């Protein structure tokens, strides 16, 4: 992987960048839809590409459990398995250490899980996580980490930071497949000194990029922004910065201003399945009665397939009828909204007008394509 900063914003820390992988080039800041099990819920790879998606995130833990990393490797790797020719990033499973807390036990060597699928017992440590990610063949892979819950006590988070650093070093020693980039994950909860400690420890190891983990787990927006700003001060400006799991449009814009390059979040796809659609003038809940006879698209001027072919009235009908097509069409629109937002952010950085773009965004006055 190669990363280059193409332009820096004059009024803040935002930057326009370029990541080159074996499966293609992409510009940053970039948003990565979540394809946990090797699929973006509700849409095909072709539909995702048509919506502007350039890179997809998949999950090591879930693909390990089903269908199994060796099966995927034998078929030709994750790109071939899911028919996605662009870059892929795989999370290491560290988030599941947090989200499956009732099904796991942590030790210095790794984590013992009870499968959420069938209750079977499995062990994931740095060695196993790296083996799985080599088999999957993703372009960008992550170190194994512990994501601590919101409100965790200082001593617990301190121990977690030390464990995460130990696992990161072991992941580095295990090695990666040719063409893969390995990112270290900064933890430390909401404690500035622990974030600094984690960042400095990882930077000393020399990873290909750095991620900010352990956020969007219950902390308030002000605290999250403070943690991001504090952490970014200790990370190398020549490396890509990835903010994990944080992805409201507002969070993306504010984090870009602080120098973040990469984002992922389930919001565009999950909200689509729940009937909540993103527009430049705010959120639209398609089930509302006001749209029952509305012949207009979700958003006038939107270039997505859904807005080009279907009315709000029809989309409301599909959602209330619980038609599978509802999930697909809503997801296509929300993915397009996110990729269009990132295009606009990149263009604003290129034109030295990110401050104006941000101001217009909050006023709901961004022009649609």
Hey, which residues are catalytic here?
A: 91, 264
CA distance 182 to 177: 10
Whether the bond into 29 is cis, omega within 30 of 0: yes
At residue 298, φ and ψ (nearest 5 deg) are -55, -45
Residues 6+ apart with CB under 8 A from 356: 348
What is the C-alpha separation between 33 and 30, in angstroms, rounded? 10
Helices and strands in the chain: count of H runs, count of E runs: 15, 16
Strands (E), 38-99: 56-59, 88-91
**How far, in whole angstroms, is CA 31 from its chain's centroid?**
7
Reduce the DSSP state of residue 210 to 3 states and report it: strand
Phi and psi torsions of 265, nearest 5°: -170, 150
Nearest Cα to 165, choosing from 139, 140, 196? 196
Q: Which SS3 state, helix, strand or coil, does residue 96 take? A: helix
């Amino acid at each position: 992987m190669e990363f280059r900063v193409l332009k820096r914003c004059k009024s803040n820390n935002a930057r326009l960048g370029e990541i080159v992988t074996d499966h293609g080039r992409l510009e940053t800041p970039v948003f990565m839809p979540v394809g946990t099990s090797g699929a973006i819920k509700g849409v095909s790879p072709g539909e995702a590409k048509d919506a502007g998606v350039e890179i997809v995130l998949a999950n090591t833990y879930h693909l390990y459990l089903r269908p199994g990393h060796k099966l995927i490797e034998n078929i030709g790797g994750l790109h071939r398995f899911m028919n996605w020719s662009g870059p892929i990033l795989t999370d290491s499973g560290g988030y599941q250490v947090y989200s499956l807390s009732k099904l796991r036990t942590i030790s210095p060597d790794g984590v013992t899980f009870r499968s959420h699928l069938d209750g079977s017992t499995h062990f994931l440590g740095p060695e196993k996580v790296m083996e799985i990610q080599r088999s999957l063949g993703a372009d960008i892979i992550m170190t194994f980490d512990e994501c601590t819950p919101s409100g965790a006590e200082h001593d617990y988070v301190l121990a977690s930071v030390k464990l995460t650093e130990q696992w990161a070093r072991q992941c580095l020693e295990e090695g990666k497949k040719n063409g893969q980039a390995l990112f270290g994950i900064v933890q430390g909860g909401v404690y500035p000194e622990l974030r600094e400690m984690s960042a400095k420890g990882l930077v000393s190891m020399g990873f290909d990029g750095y991620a900010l983990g352990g956020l969007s787990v219950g902390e308030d927006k002000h605290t999250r922004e403070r943690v991001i700003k504090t952490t970014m001060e200790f990370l190398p400006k020549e490396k890509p910065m990835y903010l994990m799991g944080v992805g409201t449009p507002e969070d993306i814009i504010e984090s870009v201003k602080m120098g973040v390059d990469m984002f992922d979040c389930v919001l565009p796809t999950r909200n689509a399945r729940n009937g909540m659609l993103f527009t430049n003038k705010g959120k639209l809940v398609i089930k509302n009665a006001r749209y029952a006879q509305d012949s207009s698209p979700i958003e006038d001027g939107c270039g997505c397939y859904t807005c080009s072919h279907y009315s709000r009235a029809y989309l409301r009908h599909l959602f209330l009828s619980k038609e599978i097509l509802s999930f697909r069409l809503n997801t296509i629109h929300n993915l397009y909204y996110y990729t269009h937002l990132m295009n606009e952010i990149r263009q604003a950085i290129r034109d030295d007008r990110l401050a104006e773009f941000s101001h217009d965004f909050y006023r709901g006055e961004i022009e649609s394509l």
